Amino acid sequence: MPKTPNAAFTQRIGHGLASLFRRIGFGRFLGAALLGVFLVIRAWDPNPVETLRLKVFDLYQQIHPRALSQQPVLIVDIDERSLSEFGQWPWPRTLLAKLVTQLKEQGAAAIGFDIVFAEADRLSPKKLAEDLSGIAPELRGGLRLLPDNDQLFAEAIGNTNVVLGQSGHPRVLSKRESPGNSAPVVTLGGNPKPYLFNYADILRNIPVLDNAAQGRGIFNFEGERDGLVRRVPAVVLAGGRIVPTLTLEMLRVAAQADAYIIKSDELGLISINLAGAEIPTDRFGRIWVNYSKSDPNKYLPASDVLNETAPQEKVKGKLILIGTSATGLLDIKSTPVHSALPGVEVHAQILETILTKSYLLRPSYALGAELILQALTGAVMILLVPALGASLAMLFGALIAGALMTGSWYLFVEQQLLIDVSYGLFASGAVYILLVFVNYFREEGRRRQVRGAFGQYLAPTLVDQLAKDPKRLALGGETKTMTFLFCDVRGFTSIAELYHSDPQGLTRLINRFLTPLSDCILRNRGTIDKYMGDAIMAFWNAPLEDPEHVSHACLTALDMLGRLDSLNKDLKQEAEAAGRPFLPLHAGIGINTGVCVVGNMGSDQRFDYSVLGDAVNLAARLEGQSKTYGVSIIVGEATAEQLTGRLALLQLDMIRVKGKTKPERIFSVIGDEAFAKSQNFNQLVTHNERLLTEYRAGNWESALDECRICRELDAEGSLGELYALYASRCQTFQVNPPPADWDGVFSAETK
């Protein structure tokens, strides 16, 4: 009986699946399926997966809490002793006014209250006059004449940098708007509001206090599912408006910043910029708190301040948080590092995290990176484990787990990045167990057959790759035309002398010099070959082809000079502020184009991707001559030939650099294409050529006349040293003429 079309189709599918199982192996197929399930679960990220991840990050903080290196924050603690001495809470506002005044007199930078004053002081004289019964009329009248406690407190608040705490509330409480002097919020990118924690309203302070304060911020926050406080919002949404939290508002007031700048994209928030400082957040606007161990020195009893026994040096210049550690006031939180921590210290830990830039970062790419790591680890295990014996498979799994955990720990300790490998290890472990379980039930002979059949398809280790393909270690490279750039600091010895007692400061200065200049090279498609102290070597047209390598190199040089001018302005301001002498950084740049060999250079033990050739050496020599001619950029003739009409080029001389016999015509790049087209520059080029012609012909007087004209045409005065050099040569040759066979070439005696 003939088969129906459906039966034939089903049979073909069955044969196809059987063939697939035979090709990849049943164990690998199951492992890949299980790995796929785990990847889907990780992308979904249910509560148990998130909890596992957070617990691992908690463990990291417990093992390696933030170091107690700085103490920019002080907690004025309404502790049990202060309550015992000055009475139960709430205290009269006059006592709080004295507290604020004392802190101001001792030099506090800003004061934040982890407290909300939502009601008028019940101990104000007027309030007592109305509430107390049975008192004499004259006493009642006298009480009404006394100053209001809240007004006295408001006057104390208004005289210093005070930020009052507010509490986000789930219900609408009133229609009262916040004071008009709240700092504006600027948003860049997407709309951050959908991602922020949302409160229906704010429980505010009474108006007389609210209007007197320099700032207001939300102080309440909630723990996560397990009750631990790990991430705290930097800004929240309350009543439809973006509102800062207490810690962020204290920083704004202390820095006298005008606004908050919130950066976000389609995935949520990225960071908050405040007074030029970038504060990274997660997509919901939360800061990961990098907790240190609790330090008793961070606390100052409020009673010591009120009794005027607190040492001034402990208060001066600090951000002051006023809150309570008293157990009865129920402001105790649990954190990854502390089982019970006063809520006010959580605010202090946030401030310290920001001020010391000790951010714990969960980057936006973390999920993608973890999925890739999980997939790669599982895939490698799926490929290799079936081919290994039981003992080697166990060793392999241990090495993989150790490498992943070490990498995650390293990123936490050194980079403060939170990258989770726990779930990936769990998933890989499950795949590993499945693969070992499948292998366990195969005979040893079958296992050897599988290794033999699939060995040629397995991805070899790096050592195997290098052993099978020794060309990967071969020295040498390819010959090609490239452009080379050398850049060095002029007068570095004098600059270094200023830092003879501060070598770390000199290192920071050189880093600040090299960083923007390196950025110029990379942005213009260059390759940085090496750093040599305060010098940079770079090249173009390798390893990637760059048809415009000549112009890219010269534009890089101009870009470098612009970045250097900006850096010098900053350094000058810093030097004036610090009261130290200022020496500007000047750079000499040499550029040349020519044929070289590029590739792996070095020894059999160690090599680098670099360049080798005469054209490279000439570029280095040209950089050394920039000081002689008093210009910032010198380019060789081969480079200049390809730049004619594209940049402002000025011929300098014919020079025979040290170590070479063949003379080289050298030029300086003094401006971009627009400058090259200017009338003044073209007049300068004309007279500069006449100067060189008369000079090489030995017409010293005519050459001196052209020097004077060139100086007048040099509107910016950047070529003064060049024309002073030629004037000096001409005057010298007038007295001591050169030999009869003089060819007009200058022979450099130094590099």
Asked which of 367-371, 465-469, 603-607, 658-662 is least confident by mean pLDDT, the reply is: 465-469
Q: Which amino acid is at 680?
A: N
Interval 323-375: pLDDT, tens: 887 765 557 888 888 888 888 899 999 999 999 899 998 887 888 888 888 88
How far out from the chain centre does Cα 270 lie? 13
Mean pLDDT of 729-747: 87
pTM across the whole model? 0.55
Interval 381-391: pLDDT, tens: 777 776 665 56
Cβ(272)–Cβ(281) below 8 Å: yes
Interval 516-544: pLDDT, tens: 998 898 888 888 888 888 899 999 987 77
* Cα–Cα dist 587/266, whole Å: 43
Q: How far apart are the first and last CA of the chain?
A: 96
Interval 6-31: pLDDT, tens: 555 555 555 554 454 555 566 777 87
* pLDDT confidence tier of residue 63, bands split at 50, 70 and 90: very high
CB atoms within 10 A of CB 75: 25
Residue with tokens 């950047």: 718
Give the neighbor-by-neighbor strand order of the sheet with 277-280.
185-189, 260-265, 268-274, 277-280
* pLDDT confidence tier of residue 258, bands split at 50, 70 and 90: confident
Q: How far is CA 699 from CA 130, 656, 673, 680, in A?
A: 107, 22, 33, 25
More confident residue, 122 or 157: 157
Q: Which residues are paired to 185 by β-bridges?
A: 260
R_g of the chain computed on alpha carbons: 37
pLDDT at 7: 59
**Which of 166-180, 524-538, 556-570 ranks highest by mean pLDDT?**
556-570
Mean pLDDT of 480-490: 92
605-609 own/partner pairs: CB under 8 Å, 24+ apart: 607/475, 608/530, 609/543
The answer to whether residue 296 scores a pLDDT higher than 50 is yes
Mean pLDDT of 653-678: 87
What are the residue ranges of helices labelled H in 325-421?
Answer: 343-355, 366-384, 390-410
- Helices H, strands E: what count in the chain? 27, 27
Q: Which amino acid is at 677?
A: K
pLDDT at 41: 86
Where does 149-257 show beta strands of DSSP type E?
162-169, 185-189, 198-199, 201-203, 215-218, 231-233, 235-238, 241-244
pLDDT at 448: 40
Cβ(204)–Cβ(210) below 8 Å: yes
Mean pLDDT of the chain: 83
pLDDT at 580: 81
In sign, the C-alpha dihedral spanning 728, 733, 739, 741 is positive
Residue partners of 656: CB distance under 8 A and separation at least 6: 662, 663, 664, 745, 746, 747, 748
The answer to whether residue 656 scores a pLDDT higher than 50 is yes
**Which of 93-102, 182-191, 384-393 ranks highest by mean pLDDT?**
93-102
More confident residue, 102 or 258: 102
Interval 418-450: pLDDT, tens: 988 888 888 877 877 777 777 666 544 443 433
What SS3 class is residue 699? coil
pLDDT at 461: 34
How far out from the chain centre does Cα 100 lie? 37
Mean pLDDT of 472-492: 78
pLDDT at 5: 53
The answer to whether residue 474 scores a pLDDT higher than 50 is no
The answer to whether residue 651 scores a pLDDT higher than 90 is yes
Asked which of 150-154, 210-214, 343-347, 660-664 is least confident by mean pLDDT, the reply is: 660-664
Asked which of 15-19, 212-216, 635-639, 678-682 is least confident by mean pLDDT, the reply is: 15-19
Q: How far is CA 654 from CA 208, 250, 629, in A?
A: 80, 64, 12
Residue with tokens 């998130």: 50
Residue partners of 196: CB distance under 8 A and separation at least 6: 233, 235, 236, 237, 242, 269, 284, 285
